[in-house]
């Protein structure tokens, strides 16, 4: 049965296509126009060049993180003679990367949790109910995406200062959340509008409260949307530099991006370059790991906001 | 149906709206007001000076220089990034030499790798490139020497004639992968029968690309251009880390950086927010263009 021609036929076009894609070694000349093998070869060469441009700087940083300081000043293409894992220990403790890392975790996860809960509450109310001022509220949030944050920086500095929150985790969490709300509300409002309401209405007739419907029915149904926005916000918050550099004035509370930038600007000739490379790698690892795990979803999540 | 409606609206909006009003709406509103004062930052009174700050800006060569740099970024970064993004996306999605609808072998791998620089936080990208451009330990000079082009070695960020281009290079390096993925998504949404019809009509690979794929992508490309433009207007982190004081001889100063330095280093808060207001007007113009172009649908129905 399994060897009958009928069973194998569906795979035939696929096999034919992939063999002709292999370029110069193609075995189906009737499908390939003259010159195509050469063109395919050039295509692959160009693609490979950009792949190298994208990865070599990262690999170089990774390898440099294992060199000692004298090797760093040698040939940049040379592998380290001994792999100095102690650079990472020095970066973590002496160069404070460990503290910066923990600060970042606290601020990012605090703000992420708050953004997701507050953002979905606003979006749900705006998507499901019409009430006086609902459109005004929606457009006020949407308008927040249009202005550059740097414009708000000066007054924001004094507001946060007057609230006594300058250089505090709470201050950073609240500010990150406030500036993540516009996109979160914008995206989730349109998402909640697409969700079916029949289940929620049935629950309401059964006597469930509006809040219970939101938390027990609508939030679980909105999981895919929440995840997309969650990833978007996570990357944005891990990436944040402008807000902490102005508002996070206490060095002990520095986040990674801020700490790394300040370390690199203090570098002179006697500086501990290897530790700085190691710090760079430590700071990049969580984001790259997340990307490799959720690659498809991240690419889709980041582009969806633009195609809408 | 609306049982408990008022309560949930009040309950769900109270906290987020307060937070948003205090930390986002109010600073933006205050900024417009502060731009009309000569406030130095730490005094209680904010002397109202009308449009003086804006008049001063018009006569400030540093401001014009920063604006010109932003203008250059606004043109060059989208142009190069989109050209490369379209080129790679076309190869990955319709570049297969057999059936036209297919991409080349390894497309998934390439788009994954290209996206990698985009996913890095900007500050990490900036510090990484600070190393790459470093005249002593840097990968770039070392690489040029290794292939016998040592004569091209530069102090990339220290030479006022190349510093801005070095920064543009980083922006493009980090941006291309995103647009490859974006354009790929757009190309994949074109129905396959359009390509098949073209093939039946005898269109070659190149013709299919220029006559069918690219015209159908026009709208996405327009949105991408404006998005990149906004991004280039606000490339604050990259510029602050790679050229903290605006580069050698202010050769890489951009508006967002000029604003930050005027406020937090020189204590000219009124003047700085006036720069911010102009920067916002430019951003709003770009955003208005985005909505304008994305509303317009392509003339080809599919």
Contact yes or no for B128 and A273 at CB 8 A: no
Has residue A282 got a pLDDT over 70? yes
Q: What is the per-residue pLDDT across A238-249, written as a single tens digit (0 to 9) for each?
A: 989 999 999 998
What is the rounded distance in angstroms from the CA atom of residue A175 to the CA atom of residue A188? 20
For residue A12, the model assigns a pLDDT of 36
- The neighbour count for residue B243, using CB atoms within 10 Å, is 24
Taking contacts as CB-CB distances below 8 angstroms, the residues of chain B near A159 are 22-23, 26-27
- CB contact at 8 A, A164 and B28: no
Q: What pLDDT does B190 receive?
A: 83
Of B31, B116, B123, the CB nearest to A257: B123
pLDDT tier for residue A267 given thresholds of 50, 70 and 90: low
Average pLDDT for chain A: 84
pLDDT by residue (tens digit) across A109-133? 999 999 999 999 999 999 999 999 9
Q: What is the 3-state secondary structure (H, E, C) of chain A?
A: CCCCHHHHHHHHHHHHHHHHHCHHHCCCHHHCCCCHHHHHHHHHHHHHHHHHHHHHHHHHHHHHCCCCHHHHCCCCCCCCCCCCCHHHHHHHHCCCHHHHHHHHHHHHHHHHHHHHHHHHHHHHHHHHCCCCCHHHHHHHHHHCCCCCHHHHHHHHHHHHHHCCCCCCHHHHHHHHHHHHHHHHHHHHHHHHHHCCCHHHHHHHHCCCCHHHHHHHHHHHHCHHHHHHHHHHHHHHHHHCCHHHHHHCCCHHHCCHHHHHHHHHHCCCCCCCHHHHHHHHHHHHHHHHHHHHHCHHHHHHHHHHHHHC
Chain A stretch 158-187, residues whose beta carbon is closer than 8 A to a beta carbon of chain B: 159-160, 174-175, 177-179, 181-182
- Gap from A2 CA to chain B (nearest CA, Å): 27
Query: Residue B9 pLDDT more than 90?
Result: yes
**Mean pLDDT, residues A182-206:** 90
Q: What is the pTM of this model?
A: 0.86
Q: Tell me, what's the pLDDT at A49?
A: 94
Residue A307 banded pLDDT, cuts 50, 70, 90? low
* Mean predicted confidence (pLDDT) in B45-50: 84
Which residues of chain B are within 8 Å of residue A40 when distances are taken between CB atoms? 95, 97, 104
* A154 contacts B263? CB cut-off 8 A: yes
Give the pLDDT confidence of B116-156 residue by residue, as tens digits. 999 999 999 999 999 899 888 888 888 888 787 877 888 88
pLDDT at A244: 95
CB contacts of A63 in chain B (<8 Å) are none
Q: Please report residues of A whose CB lies closer than 8 A to that of B259.
A: 150-151, 153
User: Best residue in B10, B18, B20 to probe A by mutation, most A CBs within 10 Å?
Assistant: B20
Q: Which residues of B touch A45 (CB under 8 A)?
A: none
Gap between the Cα atoms of A224 and B86, Å rounded: 29
pLDDT in tens, B171-205: 999 999 999 999 988 888 888 888 888 878 887 77
Residue B1 pLDDT > 70: no
Cβ–Cβ pairs < 8 A, chains A and B: 306
Helix segments in chain B, DSSP class H: 5-20, 26-34, 52-58, 61-94, 107-119, 122-133, 139-146, 163-188, 192-200, 205-208, 214-216, 218-233, 236-242, 255-264, 269-295
In this complex, is the C-beta atom of A28 within 8 Å of any C-beta atom belonging to chain B? Answer: yes
Among the ranges given (A244-258, B161-175, B221-235), the one the predictor scored with the smallest mean pLDDT: B221-235
Is some CB atom of chain B closer than 8 A to the CB atom of A51? yes
pLDDT at A25: 39
- Smallest Cβ–Cβ distance between A122 and the set B13, B114, B260 belongs to B13
A38-83 residue pLDDT tens: 667 788 889 999 999 999 999 999 999 999 888 888 777 788 888 9
Segment A11-40, tens digit of pLDDT: 333 333 333 333 343 334 344 444 456 667
């Amino acid at each position: 049965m399994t060897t009958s021609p009928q069973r194998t036929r569906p795979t035939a076009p696929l096999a034919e296509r992939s063999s002709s894609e292999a370029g110069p070694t193609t075995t189906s000349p009737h499908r390939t126009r003259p010159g195509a093998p050469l063109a395919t070869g050039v295509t692959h060469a160009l693609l490979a060049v950009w792949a190298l441009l994208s990865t070599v700087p990262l690999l170089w940083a990774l390898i440099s993180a294992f060199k000692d300081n004298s090797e760093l000043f040698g040939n940049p293409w040379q592998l380290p003679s001994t792999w100095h894992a102690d650079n990472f220990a020095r970066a973590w403790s002496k160069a404070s990367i460990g503290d910066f890392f923990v600060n970042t975790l606290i601020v990012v996860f605090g703000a992420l949790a708050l953004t997701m809960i507050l953002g979905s509450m606003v979006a749900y109310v705006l998507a499901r109910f019409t009430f006086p001022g609902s459109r005004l509220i929606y457009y006020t949030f949407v308008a927040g995406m249009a202005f550059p944050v740097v414009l708000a920086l000066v007054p924001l500095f004094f507001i946060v200062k007057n609230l006594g929150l300058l250089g505090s985790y709470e201050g950073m969490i609240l500010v990150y959340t406030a500036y993540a709300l516009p996109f979160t509300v914008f995206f989730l409002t349109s998402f909640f509008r697409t969700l079916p309401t029949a289940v929620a209405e049935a629950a309401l007739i059964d006597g469930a409260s509006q809040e219970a419907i939101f938390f027990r029915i609508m939030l679980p149904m909105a999981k895919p949307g929440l995840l997309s926005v969650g990833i978007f916000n996570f990357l944005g918050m891990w990436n944040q530099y402008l807000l902490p550099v102005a508002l996070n004035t206490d060095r002990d509370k520095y986040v990674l991006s801020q700490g790394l930038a300040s370390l690199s600007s203090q570098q002179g000739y006697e500086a501990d370059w290897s530790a700085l490379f190691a710090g760079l790698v430590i700071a990049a690892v969580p984001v790259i790991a997340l990307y490799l795990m959720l690659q498809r979803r991240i690419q889709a999540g980041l582009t969806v906001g633009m195609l809408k | 149906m609306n049982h408990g409606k008022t309560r949930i609206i009040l309950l769900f909006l109270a906290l987020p709206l307060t937070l948003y009003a205090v930390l986002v709406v109010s600073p933006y509103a205050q900024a417009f007001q502060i731009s009309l004062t000569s406030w130095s930052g730490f005094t209680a009174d904010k002397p109202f000076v009308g449009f003086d700050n804006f008049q001063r800006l018009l006569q400030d060569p540093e401001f014009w220089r920063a604006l010109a740099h932003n203008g250059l970024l606004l043109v060059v970064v989208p142009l190069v990034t989109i050209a490369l993004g379209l080129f790679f996306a076309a190869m990955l999605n319709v570049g297969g030499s057999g059936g036209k609808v297919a991409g080349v072998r390894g497309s998934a791998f390439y788009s994954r790798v290209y996206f990698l620089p985009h996913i890095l936080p900007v500050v990490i990208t900036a510090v990484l490139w600070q190393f790459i451009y470093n005249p002593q330990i840097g990968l770039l000079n070392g690489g040029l020497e290794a292939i016998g082009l040592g004569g091209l070695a530069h102090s990339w960020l220290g030479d006022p004639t190349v510093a801005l281009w070095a920064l543009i290079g980083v922006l493009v390096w980090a941006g291309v992968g995103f647009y490859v993925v974006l354009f790929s998504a757009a190309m994949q949404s074109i129905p396959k029968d359009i390509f098949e019809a073209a093939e039946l009509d005898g269109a070659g690979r190149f013709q299919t690309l220029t006559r069918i794929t690219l015209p159908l992508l026009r709208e996405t490309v327009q949105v991408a251009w404006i998005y990149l433009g906004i991004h280039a207007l606000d490339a604050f982190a990259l510029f602050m880390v790679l050229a903290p004081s605006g580069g050698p001889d202010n050769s890489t100063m951009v508006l967002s950086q000029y604003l930050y330095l005027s406020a937090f280093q020189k204590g000219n808060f009124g003047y700085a927010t006036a720069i911010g207001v102009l920067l916002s007007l430019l951003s709003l113009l770009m955003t208005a263009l985005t909505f304008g172009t994305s509303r317009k649908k392509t003339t080809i129905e599919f």
